[in-house]
A and B are shown apart, each in its own frame.
Chain A
Amino acid sequence: MDLIGQFPLFYFPEYGSAWMMGVTGTIHILASHTSVGAALLFAFLAYKAYKEDRVDLYPYMKRYGMFLLIFSYVIGSITGPGIWFTATAASPRGIGALIHNFVWVWATEWVFFFYEVIGVFVLVYFMDKIDKKTHLKLTFSFALASVGTLALIIGIISFMMWPGTDVYYATGSASDAFFGTNTFPHMFLRIGFMIMLSGVIGLFISSAMKKENLSLSHELTKKMGYISMLGGFLVVFFFMWYMGTLPENAHAVFNVTKDSVIQSRIILTIVFSLYFLLAIFKPQFISKPLAGIMIFVILIGGIWPGEKLRESMRKPYVAGQYMYSNQIVSRDVDGKGIKSELPILAEKGMLKVNPFIPKNLRVITPENKLKVGKILTRIACSNCHSLEKTGKYRPLQTRMQGMDKDGIKGILYAIGAGAFPYMPTLQLPDEEYDAIAEYLESLNY
């Protein structure tokens, strides 16, 4: 029997399961990027405290460390595996592709992660219990370990966009997949963002210290302003390099929303530049509520749209430009012995080759046609599109409004023929297209 390895479909109405991944991912990015940036900031402060004998800096570091423990190492360390958890429900074959290419890279990252988690407790709780020199070494090793986790995950998430060259498809080698053309620009882009985030979080903590030590609070606020400004500059600089290393389909998607994306990024850059300048020149104006609001702004205005854009630019793929978002292998990868599943789907149809189609839906009849259309639509479309009339996430409603069955079928055939670079070239037998079109028509968009 010819079967393809599709899993049961988990469907989250109105938003789609991919949206759930986005939520967990955004929270994780805020926490994890803060933790790497803060590790670098810690090393800088500890060096300064040690060299200049500034004992007054240690309470700030302790407070920052406690915040870090709760924020990054509670939320960050849970939402990290959380992305895996949600991804396995929303995109099992996508995460499977990554794991089967990069299991040893992930295992290596785990070593650094383990060091980091024990390290952060040692770093914070032993601040008053060990000598300053040993503590300084600890902060250096902690910073290196944090950067190590980034260095390892970055190749994997860059591969999600694309392997960079065709070499991987021939060799199947993890090294060729990992070190693609956009791995390093992506890495430095994120380091810039991490430095900026550490400053943004640092401003929240320094502004909270006003009552205890006003002059130290102002001094640290200024420093955080400079650090954030440096990070922000790196983000803008490396973003240009990063964009130049993306594949054509990513640019095709980017071009659709280019103007609004650039406009919102310019506004964000101006707002944050002013905020950082305020911290540098008028530190007394940086208050705890303002700093808290700015963290929220960066989460909603910076990370969320940024991650959404990155996810959109990957379309129609979810990993390595061989796994479609709808869990279908779309090309051969000779180096791994992977075969495209598109020909068998075109020949036999989804109902025959998906192992989780119940027996009563395997053959289309007038009685079950709408039910078949429903499950086929969910399998083929719901990873990227909300199907309900009131759907929130790339809703089909806005794309198929007022169309009849023939019109919808025409679109399905065009997608299958590759008319849209950001859509999967999924060809199905006519009867399956017909069932999908009939179901979509029945929704009366």
Chain B
Amino acid sequence: MDASTLLALRDPAGIPFYPVVFQALYILTWALHAAFVFLSLGAMGLSIYGTFKQKIDENWKILTPHLIQTGKISVSILIVLGVAPLLFTQVIYDPNWYVANTLSGMWIFSFIYILVLGYIMYYWYYFANKKTTGGGKLIGIISFSILIVCGILMHSFAVTSIMPNDWMNMYAPNGVIDNSGWTFNIKTIRLIFLLSLSIPIVGIFLQNYSRFLSTREDFNKDFIKYTTKIGKRISIVGLLFSAVMFVTWMVQLGYIIHPVSISIIVGVLILIYMVYQNNNSYITTLVLLLVALLISGLREVIRYDIMSKLGYNVYDYPVNLEIPSLVMFLLTFLILGGFGVAWLLTMAWKVGKTKGVFDGSKDVAVTKLGNYTLGIMIIWMVVYFAWGMTILFNNIL
């Protein structure tokens, strides 16, 4: 695919801000999205193991429903977090994403319904296990498998999007056009590496879980010790396996001595040490997020290199600055998002730490954050209507 074609495929409206910002937002939000993808798959997979031990082991009796719940909430969060990188990639890499989507149109359409099916079955699994200890094994396995298929499909779209030299051959092999939308591509090592990250992430989650519950009197100390122990084991095995897959992938691509991949390897070594020591799993999680950011960054480096070699440089995307809606986003993100999410998370943290009912009305931080959030939302609505009416009056009178 030559540069003139790739450049022609860019949107004629240009982009409303500097490309590097969208690139950074993409890297950041993909890392967050991926963290919840791996947490959900890890928690789900481990919970299925738990359903087999739930009846005979007290520890798994407590842990399994918590893992199922973690998986359930994580899927919702990964979906909402996934919207952001999906948005930002379409801003600066629209040629790539749209070609991949049109070539795989049937998979794209099917993906949504496969995901709906998998997630609804997951709720079924949740209710079945809630009703009967050890229940819902088969449904859980089917649901887990369906969600893995979704992951494989997303992998296929991403891989197709960075194969511009093969697009024409995928669309019209030997000059015969294929409009069916069944294009499917897979890069096995890359896929296994990414999926394998579910293992260390659920391990580190277990370390956090045991640390968080260690202050709750209604949780047995032996249970806390047990979850700490399996958290450490799972994390170390998972990190080692992921590291091997990562190195294989990098050698395959010729990126093994790239500064970002070296940073990732160093990050993994630090993580192994931290997980082994388990002094403070919350700090380990911060390092894990940093490594996730580096992995996200590396994906972008690979894509950027492929595209710039073909003459498509995202930094040359024409810019049509759009300030008012950018200001709206920044203020909403920082102020409303900041206070609102801080309120919800503070409350969730305190409810989790409390045995019985948590009285938020007597908690200064929760009360203030709640009042601020409501106040900001009301002001937001007022500004929205004032802004809209001003524009309309200007344009129609």
Q: Is the CB of B177 within 8 A of A115?
A: no
Contact of B179 among A179, A358, A378 (CB under 8 A): A378
Q: Is the CB of B119 within 8 A of A97?
A: no
Q: Is the CB of B325 within 8 A of A175?
A: yes
Q: Is the CB of A3 within 8 A of B8?
A: yes
In whole angstroms, what is the CA distance A175 to B16 when docked?
A: 13
In whole angstroms, what is the CA distance A102 to B11 when docked?
A: 13
Point out the residues of chain B lying under 8 angstroms from A110, CB to CB.
80, 83-84, 87
Contact of A96 among B86, B90, B104 (CB under 8 A): B90
Known contacts A102-B325, A141-B373; A337 and B168 CB within 8 A of each other: no
Q: Is the CB of B380 within 8 A of A148?
A: yes
In whole angstroms, what is the CA distance A103 to B91 when docked?
A: 8
Q: Is the CB of B112 within 8 A of A12?
A: no
Q: Is the CB of A10 within 8 A of B102?
A: yes
Point out the residues of chain A lying under 8 angstroms from B119, CB to CB.
74, 78
In whole angstroms, what is the CA distance A23 to B104 when docked?
A: 18
Q: Does B328 contact A (CB under 8 A)?
A: yes
Q: Is the CB of A337 within 8 A of B91?
A: no
A166-187 vs B: 1/0 string, CB under 8 Å? 0100001111101101011000
Q: Does A416 contact B (CB under 8 A)?
A: no
A1-45 vs B: 1/0 string, CB under 8 Å? 101110111111000010010001000000000000000000000
Q: Does A105 contact B (CB under 8 A)?
A: yes
Binds A, one of B59-67, B202-210, B337-345: B337-345
In whole angstroms, what is the CA distance A106 to B98 when docked?
A: 18
User: What's the nearest-Cβ distance from chain A to residue B231, in Å?
Assistant: 24
Point out the residues of chain B lying under 8 angstroms from A8, CB to CB.
99, 102-103, 167, 171, 179
In whole angstroms, what is the CA distance A137 to B84 when docked?
A: 28
Contact of A88 among B101, B172, B324, B333 (CB under 8 A): B101
User: What's the nearest-Cβ distance from chain A to residue B81, in Å?
Assistant: 8
A132-149 vs B: 1/0 string, CB under 8 Å? 011001101100110110
In whole angstroms, what is the CA distance A96 to B13 when docked?
A: 9
Q: Does B123 contact A (CB under 8 A)?
A: yes
Binds A, one of B245-253, B277-285, B355-363: B355-363
Task: Across the interface, name the chain B residue whose C-beta is closest to A116.
Answer: B80
Point out the residues of chain B lying under 8 angstroms from A211, CB to CB.
none
Binds A, one of B45-53, B256-264, B290-298, B384-392: B384-392
Known contacts A3-B8, A107-B333, A131-B358; A79 and B344 CB within 8 A of each other: no
Contact of B105 among A10, A133, A329 (CB under 8 A): A10
Task: Across the interface, name the chain A residue whose C-beta is closest to B169.
Answer: A358
Q: Does B320 contact A (CB under 8 A)?
A: yes
Q: Does B138 contact A (CB under 8 A)?
A: no
Known contacts A7-B102, A85-B109, A118-B341; A337 and B320 CB within 8 A of each other: yes
Q: Is the CB of B112 within 8 A of A78?
A: yes
Q: Does B76 contact A (CB under 8 A)?
A: yes
Task: Across the interface, name the chain B residue whose C-beta is closest to A80.
Answer: B83
Binds B, one of A53-61, A120-128, A197-205, A248-256: A120-128
Q: Does A342 contact B (CB under 8 A)?
A: no
Q: Does B191 contact A (CB under 8 A)?
A: no
Q: Is the CB of A104 within 8 A of B328?
A: yes
Q: Is the CB of B377 within 8 A of A144?
A: yes
Point out the residues of chain B lying under 8 angstroms from A117, CB to CB.
76-77, 79-80
Q: Is the CB of A337 within 8 A of B12?
A: yes
Point out the residues of chain A lying under 8 angstroms from B83, CB to CB.
80-81, 110, 113
Q: Is the CB of A104 within 8 A of B108?
A: no
Contact of A77 among B22, B80, B371 (CB under 8 A): B80
Q: Which of A89, A97, A148, A338 has the most chain B CB atoms closer than 10 A to its own CB?
A: A89
Point out the residues of chain B lying under 8 angstroms from A3, CB to CB.
4-5, 8
Contact of B10 among A5, A20, A329 (CB under 8 A): A5
Q: Is the CB of B9 within 8 A of A5?
A: yes
Point out the residues of chain B lying under 8 angstroms from A165, CB to CB.
395-396
In whole angstroms, what is the CA distance A179 to B328 when docked?
A: 14
Point out the residues of chain B lying under 8 angstroms from A74, CB to CB.
76, 116, 119-120, 123
Q: Does A84 contact B (CB under 8 A)?
A: yes
User: What's the nearest-Cβ distance from chain A to residue B327, in Å?
Assistant: 8
Contact of A179 among B10, B105, B387 (CB under 8 A): B387
In whole angstroms, what is the CA distance A247 to B29 when docked?
A: 38
Q: Is the CB of A4 within 8 A of B320?
A: no
Known contacts A5-B10, A151-B381; A358 and B101 CB within 8 A of each other: no
**Which chain A residues numbered 346 to 361 have a C-beta less than 8 Å away from chain B?**
355-356, 358-361
Q: Does A295 contact B (CB under 8 A)?
A: no
Contact of A133 among B25, B123, B360, B387 (CB under 8 A): B360
Known contacts A74-B116, A179-B391; A100 and B180 CB within 8 A of each other: no
Point out the residues of chain A lying under 8 angstroms from B345, CB to CB.
118
Point out the residues of chain A lying under 8 angstroms from B22, CB to CB.
103
Known contacts A7-B99, A89-B101, A117-B80; A336 and B13 CB within 8 A of each other: yes
Contact of B340 among A10, A78, A106, A115 (CB under 8 A): A115
Q: Does B151 contact A (CB under 8 A)?
A: no
Q: Does B237 contact A (CB under 8 A)?
A: no
In whole angstroms, what is the CA distance A114 to B87 when docked?
A: 14
Binding site for A on B (CB under 8 A): 4-5, 8-17, 22, 25, 73, 76-77, 79-84, 86-88, 90-91, 94-95, 97-99, 101-106, 108-109, 111-112, 115-116, 119-120, 123, 167-168, 171-172, 175-177, 179-181, 318, 320, 322, 324-326, 328-329, 332-333, 336-337, 340-341, 343-345, 347-348, 351, 354, 357-361, 366-367, 370-371, 373-374, 377-378, 380-381, 384, 387-388, 391-392, 394-396
**Other than the known A134-B366, A145-B340, what 6 A-B pairs have Cβ atoms closer than 8 Å?**
A10-B105, A85-B111, A117-B80, A130-B358, A145-B377, A172-B320
- 22 residue pairs A–B, Cβ–Cβ below 8 Å: A8-B171, A10-B103, A17-B105, A78-B115, A88-B90, A92-B101, A99-B11, A100-B15, A104-B16, A104-B328, A110-B80, A115-B336, A117-B80, A131-B357, A137-B370, A148-B381, A172-B13, A175-B324, A179-B388, A335-B320, A355-B9, A356-B171
Closest 5 CB pairs of A and B: A10-B105, A134-B360, A82-B112, A11-B179, A89-B105
